[in-house]
Amino acid sequence: MSAMEKKTTIKLNLNSLAVILYTSDLIPTKEGPLTNDEWYAIEKRIKDTGRDDVSSLIGMNREALMLLLDIDNMLIDKIVARSTLLADMIHSLHNLENEGIHVTTKYEDNYPSELYCLNNRMPLILYYVGNMDLIKDNNVSVVGPHVNNRTLNFATKSVINKVLEEERTLITCGIKGIDEYATRSILKMGGSVIMFVADHMLDKIRLNKRYLRDGHMLILCAVDPYAYFDVTNSLDRNIYVCGLSKEQFIIATNVNSGAVWFTSVQNLHYHWTTPLVVDASPYYNGNLRLIEMGAIRVSKDDLASPLDIEHIIMKNRIVNEEDDTEIDQMTIFEFIEE
């Protein structure tokens, strides 16, 4: 029986139940969830008291919370309000179970350790369907425009061939354009895909039942699986894809053109993954700019050569190090909020 066909009960430790109760958007309520920053501040407060169990929050009254955490009243109000939603949370988790969707959190053993590189930006909660064993430390992601053409498709297919040759798993965002082309191509060729989505998770599951069933696919989501598109969730998802990737191939982007450009610049600053810019088309000025900023150029000849991805990186890093172009790094990141 496949992973998708198994009927299992969602099993989570108490810390996981606490983080879902207080921070998830899964529960239908007007009581807003705590942000990641608020949760990490509370987690630190609890550790400072000598405890290592965030589940101790559940059931605490206002006075106990104020005594233990010594935080402002507005945050106390949020915790108290969310504490009343335990039954609603259990109901929501059962609904997910009926849809075949599993849950993990940063407090579970099966949470992907590859995401730890994101530090406080790592997702606290992950919803998933499919083969979790596909998450490894050598996964490769591919990103590009929402529209594609023959030139970009050729470059994408060349990257996919390398991924298949090295028996690696491809990570995509489950959106139109390059992502969709890459996903369909590698699955048709017998490869495996991790699709990290930011919205419409249930629709993606229905469209990919075959590949989920045969173990060639994993679909992840860090927000309510019933959620619609949201720009913030989309940008966060792109960061999570970087965290799961050993290398990321950027097929094409333009300067200040949107999510791919913005995430690529952030990645150059924070070093979540190794950025590889494909020399696919002269019509995308973002590719050249990213290379000037420190990303590694990958040519069509590199992708057609017998070199594996690691050796392509080594080859082109040497070239970049010999280039004496000076770049004012402060001008690159001055618009990024720390």
3-57 pLDDT per residue, tens: 444 555 778 999 999 999 999 999 989 999 999 999 999 999 998 888 879 999 9
With pLDDT > 70 as the criterion, what percentage of the chain qualifies?
91
CA 144 to chain centre: 16
Amino acid at 145: P
Burial category of 137 from C-beta neighbours within 10 Å (exposed 0-12, middle 13-18, buried 19 and up): exposed
Asked whether the predicted pLDDT for residue 143 surpasses 50, the reply is yes
pLDDT of residue 325: 38
CA distances from 197 to 47, 121, 223 (A): 33, 17, 9
Distance CA 201, CA 221 (A): 7
Contact 245, 171 (CB under 8 A): yes
pLDDT of residue 94: 94
User: pLDDT class for 290, splitting at 50, 70, 90?
Assistant: very high
User: pLDDT class for 297, splitting at 50, 70, 90?
Assistant: very high
Q: What is the pTM of this model?
A: 0.90
Contact 149, 121 (CB under 8 A): no
Which two structure tokens, joined as six digits, stand for 309? 């991805």
User: pLDDT class for 319, splitting at 50, 70, 90?
Assistant: low
Using alpha carbons, select from 257, 271, 262 the residue that is nearest to residue 238: 262
User: pLDDT class for 316, splitting at 50, 70, 90?
Assistant: very high
Asked whether the predicted pLDDT for residue 163 surpasses 50, the reply is yes
Mean pLDDT of 280-286: 85
User: pLDDT class for 335, splitting at 50, 70, 90?
Assistant: very low
Task: For 140, list phi and psi in degrees, rounded to 5.
Answer: -125, 135
Asked whether the predicted pLDDT for residue 323 surpasses 70, the reply is no
Secondary element (H or E) of residue 129:
strand 125-130
Q: What average pLDDT does the chain have? A: 90
Asked whether the predicted pLDDT for residue 117 surpasses 70, the reply is yes
Distance CA 256, CA 107 (A): 37
Mean pLDDT of 189-200: 97
Using alpha carbons, select from 163, 143, 165 the residue that is nearest to residue 152: 143
Task: For 104, list phi and psi in degrees, rounded to 5.
Answer: -140, 165
User: pLDDT class for 318, splitting at 50, 70, 90?
Assistant: low
Secondary element (H or E) of residue 263:
helix 259-270
